[in-house]
């Protein structure tokens, strides 16, 4: 979810669900150890629970970044072993790490040694790489990485094809095999197994939650954010009233004002909100106002009022 689940997106999604765990974009260890740490790690307190997703392979670097995650107040640190992009492969991390489970195990162990029990260390991975379709491959990966102290595995139920497919195609062309993830749960009953990939509706979500411990949803949550608004009541047993779109819009006006005061460009926030009214009358007109450069000079409250009037036909 690079360039998608930034801090502004996460604040928006937290307004929709109080309980769903949010994940950052993947941040490389190099960016944290040699770059602008506050730019990468600063977040709003409202985002909790929030996990920092790391990309890297060197145990010492991962340990140092886990300490940073702890210092900045994250609720989890997650090692990405699933991203198939060529840029990530050149850095020798992401999905290609599935071919080196002992290296991942040692990285996990180093992170756990660095933060102790204060911060869970989790791993996100695929069910295989390239044309390897043997269940033994992913079973052994989980078993070996588990030796490093990882007990939470987020499993994208597709192979990652490291050659010949773009990251977009890697999310769509390799077939989904939910049964492989279910089998991992049966073989590792003490581990928390979370399924990822292709979940786009309530029926699929409910079916998968009956077989595994959790479900991670990425792009569908971004493109259809209002789906999140029902999750607290349906999946977390929260009897509090679900938010309304109007209330979320009002809250985001206040957040946009604060973000702009800190120096953020308005579009850095607005681009994440364009699907808030998706499926409702006037949604296209509302979206057009928020994305039209001619309105960007308006103060946030005035901008949203213009969008509201367009949506309602006023």
Residue 96 region, left (φ>0) first, then alpha (ψ -120 to 50), else beta? Answer: alpha
For the ranges 161-165, 171-175, 246-250, the one whose mean pLDDT is highest: 246-250
Confidence category of residue 178, pLDDT binned at 50, 70, 90: very high
* Enzyme catalytic residues: 83
Confidence category of residue 4, pLDDT binned at 50, 70, 90: confident
- Number of other CB atoms surrounding residue 270 within 10 Å: 23
Query: What pLDDT score does 85 carry?
Result: 66
Handedness of CA 182, 210, 78, 55 (dihedral sign): positive
Share of the chain above pLDDT 70, in %: 96
Q: Parse the chain into domains and list their residue ranges.
A: 7-235, 245-312
Share of the chain above pLDDT 90, in %: 85
Is it true that domain 7-235 has CATH number 3.30.950.10? Answer: no
Say if CB 109 and CB 102 are below 8 A apart. no
Helices (H), the chain: 7-16, 29-34, 37-41, 59-72, 86-90, 101-115, 135-146, 167-170, 178-187, 202-209, 219-223, 231-235, 245-261, 266-270, 283-291, 300-312
Say if CB 191 and CB 142 are below 8 A apart. yes
Confidence category of residue 86, pLDDT binned at 50, 70, 90: low
More confident residue, 298 or 32: 32
pLDDT at 90 over 60: no
- Stretch 11-37: mean pLDDT: 96
Say if CB 138 and CB 104 are below 8 A apart. no
For residues 154 and 231, what is the distance between their CA atoms, to the nearest angstrom?
Answer: 19
Query: What pLDDT score does 87 carry?
Result: 58
Say if CB 212 and CB 195 are below 8 A apart. yes
- Stretch 231-250: mean pLDDT: 95
pLDDT digit string, tens, across residues 257-299: 999 999 999 999 999 999 999 999 999 999 999 999 888 788 9
Cα angle for residues 305, 309, 311 (degrees, 5° grid): 115
Cα angle for residues 41, 111, 214 (degrees, 5° grid): 75
pLDDT digit string, tens, across residues 215-236: 999 999 999 999 999 999 999 9
Query: What pLDDT score does 42 carry?
Result: 96
pLDDT digit string, tens, across residues 141-161: 999 999 999 999 999 999 988
pLDDT at 100 over 70: yes
Of the candidates 99, 100, 92, 84, the residue with the CA atom closest to the CA atom of residue 29:
92
Of the candidates 70, 75, 83, 82, the residue with the CA atom closest to the CA atom of residue 14:
75
- The class that CATH gives domain 245-312 is mainly alpha
Confidence category of residue 174, pLDDT binned at 50, 70, 90: confident
Query: What pLDDT score does 172 carry?
Result: 74
């Amino acid at each position: 979810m690079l360039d998608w689940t930034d801090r502004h997106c996460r604040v928006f999604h937290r307004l929709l669900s109080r309980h769903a765990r949010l994940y950052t974009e993947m941040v490389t260890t190099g960016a944290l150890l040699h770059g602008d740490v506050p730019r990468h790690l600063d977040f709003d307190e409202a985002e909790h629970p929030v996990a920092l997703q790391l990309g890297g392979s060197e145990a010492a670097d991962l340990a140092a970044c886990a300490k940073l995650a702890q210092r900045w107040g994250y609720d989890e640190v997650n090692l990405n072993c699933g991203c198939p992009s060529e840029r990530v492969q050149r850095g020798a991390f992401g999905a290609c790490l599935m071919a080196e489970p002992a290296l991942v195990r040692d990285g996990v162990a180093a992170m756990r040694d660095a933060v102790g029990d204060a911060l869970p260390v989790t791993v996100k991975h695929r069910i295989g790489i390239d044309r390897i379709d043997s269940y033994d491959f992913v079973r052994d990966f989980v078993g070996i990485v588990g030796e490093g102290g990882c007990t939470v595995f987020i499993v994208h139920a597709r192979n990652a094809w490291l050659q010949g497919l773009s990251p977009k195609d890697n999310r769509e062309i390799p077939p989904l095999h939910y049964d492989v993830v279910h089998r991992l749960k049966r073989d590792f009953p003490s581990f928390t197994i979370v399924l990822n990939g292709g979940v786009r509706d309530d029926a699929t979500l409910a079916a998968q939650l009956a077989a595994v411990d959790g479900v991670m949803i990425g792009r569908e949550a971004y493109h259809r954010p209002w789906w999140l608004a029902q999750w607290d009541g349906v999946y977390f047993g929260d009897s509090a009233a679900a938010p309304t779109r109007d209330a979320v819009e009002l809250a985001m006006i206040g957040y946009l004002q604060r973000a702009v005061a800190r120096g953020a460009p308005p579009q850095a926030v607005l681009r994440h909100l364009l699907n808030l009214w998706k499926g409702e009358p006037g949604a296209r007109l509302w979206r057009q106002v928020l994305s039209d450069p001619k309105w960007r000079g308006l103060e946030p409250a005035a901008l949203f009022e213009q969008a509201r009037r367009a949506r309602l036909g006023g």
